[in-house]
A and B are shown apart, each in its own frame.
Chain A
Amino acid sequence: MTRKRRRLALVLACGIGLGTAAALTLSAFSDSVAFFVSPSELAQKAPGPGRTFRLGGLVVAGSVARTLDDGRPAATFRVGDGHSEVSVRYVGILPDLFREGQGIVALGTLAPDGSFRAQEVLAKHDETYMPKEVADALKKSGRWRPEAGPPPPASTWNDLSVRKAGG
């Protein structure tokens, strides 16, 4: 094999490797990226059925109902951002820091009845933590203005969402 052809083989091998990587990335992006959606965005334009996305917001005070689903613990609660609320159903163990008024992010799909079926619920193990998406959603809905100071601690989000729930 000549020097030139060997070099060509090397370049080809690199091209195939990177090409495959790029093709895989693009094909995976088109169907496995989960978009973040806030309850008010959900009310305006809902993703198609079966599409997995992330829902973020505050757990509405007084909305949590714990039930049993086929012998397995389940919970139904509402997640809101000040403008809209959506009902969420989750089968499994809720995170330790899941509580009313707490910001959460849930991964799942929309059920035919318009409620959200969560496969995963995240709440950070930190008192002052607010998921980035929740913070943005709160800012967007005008509930929290960063210029006015830091976000209220999680314990007072409860009141916040009560006021919200009341209108």
Chain B
Amino acid sequence: MIPELGHFALALGVALGFAQAIVPLWGAQRRDLRMMQAAPALALGQFLALGISFGSLVWSGVTSDFSVLTVAENTNSLEPLIYKITGSWGNHEGSILFWCLILTLCGAAVAEFGDALPTSLRARVIGVLGLAGVGFELFALLESDPFARLMPAPIDGRDMNPLLQDPGLAMHPPILYIGYVGFAVPFAFAVAALLEGRIDAAWGRWVRPWTLAAWCFLTGGIALGSWWAYYELGWGGFWFWDPVENASLLPWLTGTALLHSALVVEKREALKVWTVLLAIGTFSLSLSGTFLVRSGILNSVHSFANDPARGVFILALLGLVIGGSLLLFALRAPVLAASGVFAPISREGGLVLNNILLCSIAAVVLTGTMYPLFADLLLGEKLSVGAPFFNATVFPLAVPLFAAMAVGPALSWKRADLGPALQKLWWAALVAALVGAGAATLTSLLPALVFAASAWLILGAAADLAVRVRLFRIPLGASLRRLGGLPRGSFGTTLAHAGLGITIAGIAGMSLAQSSIVLLKPGETTHLDGYDWQLETLHDAAGPNYAARVATIRISRDGRTVVTLAPERRSFPVQQITTTEAKISTNLLRDLYAVLGEERDGGAVLRLHVNPLAPWIWLGALVMAAGGIVSLADRRLRVGAPTRRTAAVPAE
């Protein structure tokens, strides 16, 4: 009964979605107030319908109703409760439904918090969101029904892919999806602005918090995914330039550019057309990212739901959304034109440079990701583009980005001089140069350069803050008072920029990682990077839905035990899959990482890593996301806050 209820609610959602798409958009065109004011209620109704629908799916999973196909294929009665819940979005059908749920959540959020928006703009934004939602809900209803029944129902389910049975991955898809789908809101604002035919500073101010929120989630989602790959896949790496990873990186790059260009629209009413195009592009990349992966066109080790048969529907839908919005852009963008031109050396000039570099990086990543597909389709050649390509192209473009990142916030709007800005940062530059030189004596040139860039970013952000509060120039108490008076937005910038510095320090550290593969018998010891690794025992253990083989490895340094790690190999009888469970011990400066491989000749094959600064990669991402959240708390950005500029905004 419950699955049928969910199915019905989904159908209801589609009906409400059609109404949400048609009524407000038509009303805005006809300037009919009643039709426009129907938008918020319809958006809330659609969210409610999808909520009931998804809730029913989760309920079927929790109660192990194996007559539902997706439940039978992706969960098992022995599984812990959390994986019965996460199993609902860990498969193709459920993830599409979840995607639709988030989209309707966005619509409901615009309806709820958008009271300050002009009625016609709000109606159009909600209408566009409804239009996008209807397409994907129809896909869920017609092509990938999550509530399909299985007759006769099996006694037990097939279990979720064991690799996905992990708390980190349980949270990864929802957070990533909220990030992906969150960019639908800036997209809807952009399309609405094209329909309205006008964009002003207030538009920039409305778009920015939505972009920022989506960006925070996307940052967190990518970081979680990379962390999962690091500890669960057991390859010792954190980023593989896999198509699925690139699919999430691309909207992040353009979304970051959007975040900065919306700032220029808000502050200087320039770059309007470009910002609209970026908003459309970012959501298009999010969409292609999710659905190209789901349709199995970009085959990779990560995709767990491949079904090319559904690809046609998805491609048609993508073509409609992306092509339609770009066509609208081509037709209507000239109406928006005539934005101001500004001096190259200025805050907005710096933000333009940020946009150029981020979009260039996005362009090379997109080329590298899509090239194998086109080479196969057009040239009939099979090839793969791997990490060497991306390292060789992204790194040279990232260096000027890092160099400019610390300088940008120190420039003033409209017109600035590079001299005074660099003067503010002299000590950051000095320390960065020293760090680089110091690192160069210990390691090779490339990691040293990245360490210098990292110090430059972190200290540059700190130096900028220090200048703002006039640290050491006025009494400390007065400085602290100034600190309290600074807009939260500038704290957010500082945090986010410093966070990136922390992340790239971690990446540079990882490039110095040491690893070795050894065959050890119990009692034998090996040496790696100053540590003694002794294999103590090999024994069996049992888990709730798996059997495990465990190795205990005592790691000591200069005779003193540092830690004992117990990596496992787990075999899952239901899916007949063996997974390696890496074990990691960290002290935030380095990770000791051990993986148990096959056993032979009375010993076990072990893969051991010492990864310097590895946790900084994800810590930095966390700081970046925190910077975004702090910015979101800025009064000037608060959704629904008066658009009138308050009198007491401190000078920047």
B-binding residues in A (CB < 8 A): 1, 3, 6-7, 9-10, 13-14, 17-18, 20-21, 24-25, 27-29, 32-36, 54, 66, 68, 71-73, 91-94, 96-97, 107, 122, 124-127, 132-133, 136
Interface size class of B (residues with CB under 8 A): 35 or more
Tell me the complex Cα distance, A1–B343, Å: 8
Contact A21 B393 (CB under 8 A): yes
Chain A residues contacting B516 (CB-CB under 8 Å) are: 72
Tell me the complex Cα distance, A136–B383, Å: 13
Contact A3 B341 (CB under 8 A): yes
In this complex, what residue of B is CB-closest to A73?
Answer: B605
Cβ-defined partner of A73 (8 Å) among B352, B356, B517, B577? B517
Contact B517 A93 (CB under 8 A): yes
Tell me the complex Cα distance, A47–B371, Å: 21
Contact B393 A25 (CB under 8 A): yes
Contact A96 B384 (CB under 8 A): no
Contact A32 B392 (CB under 8 A): yes
Contact B517 A28 (CB under 8 A): no
Tell me the complex Cα distance, A24–B400, Å: 14
Tell me the complex Cα distance, A86–B393, Å: 33
Stretch of B105-113, B280-288, B357-365 at the chain-chain interface: B357-365
Contact B341 A28 (CB under 8 A): no
Contact A136 B517 (CB under 8 A): no
B155 to chain A, nearest CB (A): 20
Contact A72 B388 (CB under 8 A): no
B297 to chain A, nearest CB (A): 11
Tell me the complex Cα distance, A126–B386, Å: 22
Which of B383, B388, B575, B578 gathers most chain A CB within 10 Å?
B383
A-binding residues in B (CB < 8 A): 161, 163, 299, 301, 341-344, 352-353, 356-357, 359-361, 363-364, 367-368, 371, 381-386, 388-389, 392-393, 396-397, 516-519, 569, 575-580, 595, 597-598, 600, 605, 607
Chain A residues contacting B361 (CB-CB under 8 Å) are: 21
CB<8 Å pairs between A and B, sample of 27:
A6-B341, A10-B341, A17-B356, A18-B360, A18-B363, A20-B396, A21-B360, A21-B361, A24-B392, A24-B397, A28-B389, A29-B389, A33-B385, A34-B386, A35-B382, A36-B382, A36-B383, A36-B384, A66-B600, A71-B519, A73-B519, A73-B597, A93-B517, A94-B598, A96-B578, A96-B580, A125-B579
With contact pairs A24-B393, A122-B301 given, residues A133 and B382 touching in the complex (Cβ less than 8 Å): yes
Tell me the complex Cα distance, A73–B363, Å: 41
In this complex, what residue of B is CB-closest to A53?
Answer: B383
With contact pairs A28-B393, A34-B383 given, residues A124 and B356 touching in the complex (Cβ less than 8 Å): no
A25 to chain B, nearest CB (A): 5
Tell me the complex Cα distance, A126–B580, Å: 14
Tell me the complex Cα distance, A25–B600, Å: 45
Chain B residues contacting A32 (CB-CB under 8 Å) are: 385-386, 388-389, 392
Chain A residues contacting B518 (CB-CB under 8 Å) are: 71-72
In this complex, what residue of A is CB-closest to B271?
Answer: A10
With contact pairs A73-B605, A93-B597 given, residues A27 and B392 touching in the complex (Cβ less than 8 Å): yes
Q: How many A-B residue pairs have CB under 8 A?
A: 118
Contact B357 A25 (CB under 8 A): no
Tell me the complex Cα distance, A71–B381, Å: 39
Cβ-defined partner of A9 (8 Å) among B344, B383, B605? B344
Chain B residues contacting A35 (CB-CB under 8 Å) are: 381-383
Tell me the complex Cα distance, A86–B389, Å: 27
Which of A34, A54, A136 gathers most chain B CB within 10 Å?
A34
B555 to chain A, nearest CB (A): 19
Cβ-defined partner of B605 (8 Å) among A33, A54, A93, A96? A93
Chain A residues contacting B356 (CB-CB under 8 Å) are: 13-14, 17-18
Which of B384, B396, B595 gathers most chain A CB within 10 Å?
B384
Tell me the complex Cα distance, A7–B342, Å: 8
In this complex, what residue of A is CB-closest to B360?
Answer: A21
Which of B361, B381, B386 gathers most chain A CB within 10 Å?
B386
Chain B residues contacting A133 (CB-CB under 8 Å) are: 382
Contact B384 A33 (CB under 8 A): yes
With contact pairs A18-B360, A35-B381, A35-B382 given, residues A6 and B344 touching in the complex (Cβ less than 8 Å): yes
Contact B360 A33 (CB under 8 A): no
Chain A residues contacting B299 (CB-CB under 8 Å) are: 132
In this complex, what residue of A is CB-closest to B606?
Answer: A93
Which of A32, A68, A94 gathers most chain B CB within 10 Å?
A32
Contact B163 A125 (CB under 8 A): yes
Contact A20 B397 (CB under 8 A): yes
Contact A13 B360 (CB under 8 A): no
Contact B517 A72 (CB under 8 A): yes
Tell me the complex Cα distance, A33–B387, Å: 10
Chain B residues contacting A68 (CB-CB under 8 Å) are: 519
In this complex, what residue of B is CB-closest to A29?
Answer: B389
- Contacts A27-B392, A32-B386, A124-B301 aside, 15 further interface pairs with beta carbons under 8 A come to A10-B344, A10-B352, A14-B356, A17-B359, A18-B360, A21-B393, A24-B392, A25-B368, A25-B393, A33-B371, A72-B519, A91-B517, A93-B595, A127-B575, A133-B382
In this complex, what residue of B is CB-closest to A92?
Answer: B517
Which of B163, B299, B517 gathers most chain A CB within 10 Å?
B517
